[in-house]
Amino acid sequence: MTEQPTGTGTPADGGAVSPRDRMLADFRGHLIRRQLADSTVRSYLYGAGQFLDLYGTISYDNLKLYKCYLLEHYRPQTVNLRIRSMNCFLEFLHLTDLHMTMVHIQQKSFLENVISQADYEYLKRCLLRDGNRPYYFIIRVIATTGLRISELVRLQVEDVYRGYMDVYSKGNKSRRVYIPLQVRSECQNWLAREKRRKGFVFLNRFGDPLTPSGIRYQMRRFEGLYGLDASFLHPHSFRHLFAKKFIEICGDLSMLADILGHENIETTRIYLHRSPSEQKRLVNQIVKW
């Protein structure tokens, strides 16, 4: 394999762009055409740009060096994210004889940081009491649909009235997420009082759509406001709660995987396991000898 040059020489014309920047701009266009999420586009561009800045030239040896660099500086989940970025970049460049292998991550046999049903009910009551309808419905919708926070912020008023949201993900894949009748009815009443019939459901005080980072920040404030454990106050905790309750009541792992948008059912299988606190409680109840 001949090394792929990615020269970064300074252009003679101040208006020109370097080969590196041109390549990344073309890669960005490729990712957008594939309809990847904005966060994925940014992540993949960062990974490709980081490699080019470190090594400048794409070769088998440099890819090995990059993997070693990643293992020394990042957690395994981040290492695999950067490797996915590079494999997508290599595919874009038609360098089919080069491929980076992912690192193996030991699958946990239990769930961590899942909000309890009691704390969930308590938080709902507190938010209603304080008139915080937007965040009341944010946690309600996640906990009753399993939407990711990146998907929730795209929820439209029209979706609420229709009763479902069509979610599009990488590879032009889509799934339909239904909003349970009770939540849908409550949310419609709230939106009607707000005289809103279209647009994004969750807005900030300026009328712009809330962002995932903004929601995460606000949720962390509930620790001080309501005396809750901060480790449970993140959007994914409510998604976990949905999955955990769904599998307890329904038991259909395949259906849950479809609802959550998991490509691999093994990812969903973790919801069959007990949390550490549940394991401790059951052991104390059962073991009497």
Annotated catalytic residues are 148, 170, 236, 239, 262, 271
Tokens 């990712």 belong to 31
Whole-Å CA distances, 49 to 19, 56, 58, 64, 247: 12, 9, 12, 16, 41
Q: How far is Cα 184 from Cα 227, in angstroms, rounded to an integer?
A: 29
Q: How far is Cα 149 from Cα 26, in angstroms, rounded to an integer?
A: 29
- Report the sign of the C-alpha dihedral through residues 216, 180, 194, 196, in that order: positive
Using an 8 Å Cβ cutoff, are 199 and 160 in contact? no
Using an 8 Å Cβ cutoff, are 139 and 202 in contact? no
Widest pairwise Cα distance in the chain: 82
Using an 8 Å Cβ cutoff, are 226 and 122 in contact? yes
Using an 8 Å Cβ cutoff, are 181 and 144 in contact? no
